[in-house]
Amino acid sequence: MNEDRYLQTLAERARLETPPPVDVADRVMAVLRESSSQRRFAPGPMAWVAALSAAAAIPMALAGYAAWQSLTSPLMVTLLSAAKEGLL
């Protein structure tokens, strides 16, 4: 119980304290103005990896689409079912 009372006393003292007045608005605005004037687009390594991945994925997607179209065409379905039944 002694520790509880000690914590209560510390909490009461902390509530009575006032924070020191601090004005950082001018410094923050100066940093923001400086960084926005120096900001230019410079693609990082992840942008290059993303571009190369997209360049590799596009031909693969086109090849997959062509394969899907050929496998789901009615003629191919008929030929595959005929081959499965031993007619070809």
43 Cβ neighbours under 8 A, 6+ residues apart: 51
Asked if 70 and 76 count as a contact pair (C-beta separation under 8 A), the reply is yes
Looking at the structure of the chain, the number of domains it has is 1
Collapsed DSSP state (helix, strand, coil) of residue 21: coil
Q: Is residue 9 part of a domain?
A: no
pLDDT confidence tier of residue 70, bands split at 50, 70 and 90: confident
Domain range for 77? 45-88
Query: In this predicted model, what pLDDT tens digit does every residue of 5-63 receive, in sequence order?
Result: 999 999 999 999 988 888 888 888 888 887 666 666 667 888 899 999 999 999 999 99
- How much is the pTM? 0.41
With a CB cutoff of 8 Å and minimum separation 6, the contacts of 48 are: none
* 6 in any annotated domain: no
